[in-house]
Amino acid sequence: MVTDVSYVGPDFEPTPPRRSFLRRPLTVAVAALVPGALAGWLLWQATGAPDAGGDDGGTAAASASSSAATAPASGEPTDPGTRSSPDRTPTDGGRKPSASAGSASAPVASGPLKGKVVVIDPGHNPGNFRHTTEINRQVDIGTNSKECDTTGTSTNSGYAEADFTLDVARRLRTVLEEQGVTVKFTQDGDRAWGPCVDERARIGNEAGADAVVSIHADGSAAGNRGFHVILPGAVHEGAADTRPITGPSRELGERIAGRFVAVTGSAPSNYVGGGTGLDTRTDLGGLNLSTVPKVFIECGNMRDGQDAARLTSGAWRQKAAQGISEGIVSFLRT
């Protein structure tokens, strides 16, 4: 979750207004940056077909301002009694939590990508709301300090972002392991809270990961729809030096964005990234402190009814995991 104006957290502050070099027609960005990667989106755009949830993007501007005033603050802890999806698909993706955060999942005997290591970072933690003192502790992110972690957002019906991220992450792990990838988690529902954003980055670094993907869902105003992938900007300050990873991280993000569109049918964000589905940030500790290619993906806006219908669907979450995995696999094969 990034852009809810009522929610401020360590890695999830509102996107600062700016004119990004990414604000140009999608077809130009695709042709220049990711040959073939966004083919699914181009087909979607060319045919004018609606996305999986019937979102035509036409009502976003009209509904955003009125909804922002009434939407609950996404930083508020979710009532644990309501943290369940209308879709009763098991939220563990068919797998039990691993023994400890950051540990490898079960060894894979073979596969075309055997030897590759991917760290999956399920955003937040379902237990964070019980540990506000711990998650409010300041940590160094290189450029400044921020809170250790946050509670995340939720849908208006109470489905928590932290539950969503774990479910998608576990589904993603299963798909990647079928390719022979060694998958590690920053947390797998096996710790009471956290980890802090600096530790999340450190887990990927110490694993020598070929790629790290942090899974999230946004908490913006109703009418703001679609997904976006957050890329690290160039940072060189304190403990942060992202200069070596900005290029490969961009490639990773572009490939994930392209496959996410094609597999899920979701459109790129209509409120972040100028229609490209990509957003560059220099204020996120999880990216600033990474020394390996890393991106965040905001899979949709939990505060918008149309996006929430997707995010609470087990079938759609499986598509989300598949789309992310295809982007990662494409990146690993380069």
In the structure encoding, which two tokens stand for residue 218, read together?
């946004």
178 catalytic per annotation: no
**Whether the bond into 25 is cis, omega within 30 of 0:** no
Write down the catalytic residue from 161, 254, 298, 326: 298
CB 116 within 8 A of CB 210: yes
Burial 287-319, CB ≥16 within 10 A → b, else e: bbbbbbbbbbbbbbbbbbbbbbbbbbbbebbbb
**CA angle at residue 294 from 196 to 151, to 5 degrees?**
30
CB 25 within 8 A of CB 242: no
> How far apart are the two ends of the chain, measured CA to CA in Å?
30
31 sits in the region (left: phi over 0; alpha: psi -120 to 50; else beta) called: alpha
In the structure encoding, which two tokens stand for residue 225, read together?
């729809």
Q: What single letter denotes the amino acid at residue 231?
A: L
Catalytic residues: 298
